Amino acid sequence: MGTGLKILFPVDFSRSSVAMSPYVRRAARLFGGTVSLVHIVDPAALSVLEGFELYERPMFEVSEEHRVVAQQKLDSFLKDAFPSAECPRVLDVGDAGTRIGEIATDGKFDLVIIPTHAGRFRQMLLGSTAAKVLNDAPCPVLTSKHAETIAPRSLEHREWICAIDLSPYSESVLRAAKRTSELARANMSLIHVVHEGTADGTTTLGLDKDGLNPQTREAYERLTQVASNVGITAMKRIASGPVKNAVLQAAAELDADVLIIGRTSEADPFERLRDLTFAVVRDSPIPVLSV
């Protein structure tokens, strides 16, 4: 694998996909990456239309016609932003969330950037295509909350923040964070949250470890050790309060461009997503890179 990232960009020909395109192009430039567009034809979405058409023609003929039309739309979609000679197109049939994850696996993609329909994604996250991709994709997934027709703020490389829980998976999260932030020439800081049950989230900056209570001191030392294992020299912070609130507060204080979080459950690595991951992705005002 080269130094750049191999990026998969799922599209559904909607205004959201069009609005997301400058963001994806910017990401490709930052990461020195290549972009492949993928569109999934869902047979279930065609069933009603096919039901009427089957009075006149056989099923295979109708299905093939829809596939041909979808291929034509995909070939012409965003062709100026993503020239076909540089950006391959992938058309497939099946459940979109499932097939995107499988294509990312088979194609050995390094990153999936998926447009999210702001209101619908926030209200129906657990049943959305984006949620399935987050759950199944073998590689990091970058999501960004945005309006239907307005592109999200350009992906920048000023300040990135990585939240880790100090589980055994933390080093994997940090290695991915290190690689992507270095490709983007970003300044990355680290955060770990303690005192999860307290009412208000407060972030401690510029930590003096000699002045910390034992629990916070232990967390700071473990955070330092994990970062050292991965070869990361970064500002470290310990936050207190509900995890989601504390992480998003820290990101806001930094005016961060990207928040990096882990997806794998320590208890069951085969059950990737946790409720906390969904909540952070759902509520974050900035892009979230889920590893």
Write down the pLDDT at residue 89.
Answer: 97
Does an H or E element contain 70, and which? Answer: helix 59-76
14 dihedral zone (left: phi>0; alpha: psi -120 to 50; beta): beta
Which of the following CATH numbers is that of domain 6-144: 3.30.465.10, 3.40.50.620, 3.30.830.10, 3.40.50.1370? 3.40.50.620
What six digits make up the tokens of 152? 């999200």
Q: What is the pLDDT confidence band of residue 216, given thresholds at 50, 70 and 90?
A: confident
4 dihedral zone (left: phi>0; alpha: psi -120 to 50; beta): beta
Q: Is the pLDDT at 157 greater than 70, yes or no?
A: no
What are the pLDDT digits (tens) for 60-108? 666 677 788 899 999 999 999 999 999 999 999 988 989 999 999 999 9
Mean pLDDT, residues 258-266:
79
Pairing type for strands 141-144 and 187-194 reads: unpaired
What are the pLDDT digits (tens) for 174-208? 999 999 998 888 899 999 998 654 444 444 444 44
In this prediction the pTM is: 0.83
Pairing type for strands 111-115 and 141-144 reads: parallel
What are the pLDDT digits (tens) for 98-111? 999 999 999 999 99
Does an H or E element contain 7, and which? Answer: strand 6-10
In 3D, which of 240, 241, 248, 238 has the Cα closest to residue 280?
Answer: 248
Count Cβ atoms below 10 Å from residue 3 Cβ, excluding itself: 10
- Give the domain ranges of the chain: 6-144, 159-290
Query: What is the C-alpha separation between 261 and 54, in angstroms, rounded?
Result: 48
Query: What is the C-alpha separation between 193 and 190, in angstroms, rounded?
Result: 10
What six digits make up the tokens of 14? 């909607």
Mean pLDDT, residues 246-271:
78
Write down the pLDDT at residue 57.
Answer: 58
Beta carbons of 260 and 179 less than 8 angstroms apart: no
- CATH homologous superfamily of 159-290 equals HUPs (3.40.50.620)
Q: What is the pLDDT confidence band of residue 135, given thresholds at 50, 70 and 90?
A: confident
Q: Is the pLDDT at 37 greater than 80, yes or no?
A: yes
